[in-house]
Amino acid sequence: MQIIQCQSKDQAVSKVATILFETICDEKRNVFGLATGRTMEPVYAELVKLMKNSGKDFSNKRFFMLDEYYGLTDNHESSFKFYIKTHFQNPMGFKDDQFFFPPVHLSDAGQQYERDIRAQGGVELQLLGIGQNGHIGFNEPGSEKDSLTRRVDLTPDTIEANREQFVDDIVPVDALSMGIGTILRAKELVLLATGKSKADTIQFLVNNQENSSCPASFLKNHPRFTLVLDPEAASKIN
Ligand code: GLP
């Protein structure tokens, strides 16, 4: 695990946007895993600027979303599909067929998504945020290291932490998420954590070995795992 401690939140965001941009520009690397959440909003804003200013053609790039809620209508304003369209797909003018979304409408959703990822040759770089309870994607504490894409129940803490992102009364209680095993198959992982609400989780992640009470800890032994932190998220690391 490589830890990059930045001097400010802006610097952390910029670091992650630059890593993503440079990887996306690599002609040999065409498939990427994307995350959502408040942490990633400024990352996409910067990534869009970098990509647009480059003048390059990105039409052969493909993007897989990490997770999606159940119980929302297609393209609901609070869905992750809507999020990525708003923050990345539409600003870049990317076509729908460049994006893969967890197929929540299918009965064999998890298996189908795994097949889709394999059919595209696997994910080169997976972008990740982290939940206050150490979840990655929606792999909540207790998730297995070799778990694959599946329907998961959200913990009360996660439901509460994400409540403000819902525009109406529908607050989903389950989701389809890439598994930890799915995430670990990506060739490279980049996790961004910012803000003091993540400080305890980051402290645990950095100071403990693999432990299912903190699903993100399963990433520690991935050969190419980079953890990018702002000063607040890093504030409790010894
Ligand atoms: C959600 C997403 C995660 C994200 C996490 C943190 O639950 N499933 O992929 O990393 O929340 O979100 P935020 O960046 O808003 O703190």
For the stretch 197-223, pLDDT in tens is 999 999 999 999 999 999 999 999 999
| Catalytic-role residue among 30, 76, 133, 211 | 133
Read off the amino acid at residue 172: P
Sheet of 150-153, strands arranged across: 67-69, 174-177, 150-153
Confidence of residue 169 (pLDDT cuts 50, 70, 90): confident
The distance in angstroms from the start CA to the end CA of the chain is 16
Grouping H, G, I as helix, E, B as strand and the rest as coil, residue 153 is strand
Confidence of residue 163 (pLDDT cuts 50, 70, 90): confident
Averaged pLDDT score across all residues of the chain:
96
User: What pLDDT score does 75 carry?
Assistant: 86
User: What pLDDT score does 212 carry?
Assistant: 95
User: What pLDDT score does 155 carry?
Assistant: 94
User: What pLDDT score does 138 carry?
Assistant: 97
Q: What is the pTM of this model?
A: 0.97
Query: How far is ligand 1, taken at its centre, from the CA of residue 36, in Å?
Result: 6
Residue 108, number of CB atoms within 10 A of its CB: 10
DSSP 188-235: EEEEEE-SGGGHHHHHHHHHS-S-TTSGGGGGTTSTTEEEEE-TTTTT
Query: How far is ligand 1, taken at its centre, from the CA of residue 9, in Å?
Result: 17
H or E stretch at 125: strand 125-128
Average pLDDT on 224-231 reads: 98
The closest residue, in CA terms, to atom 13 on ligand 1 is: 37
| Catalytic-role residue among 46, 87, 135, 162 | 135
Confidence of residue 27 (pLDDT cuts 50, 70, 90): very high
What is the per-residue pLDDT across 48-95, written as a single tens digit (0 to 9) for each?
Answer: 999 999 999 999 999 999 999 999 998 899 999 999 999 999 999 999
Is residue 140 a contact partner of residue 153, using CB atoms and an 8 Å limit?
Answer: yes
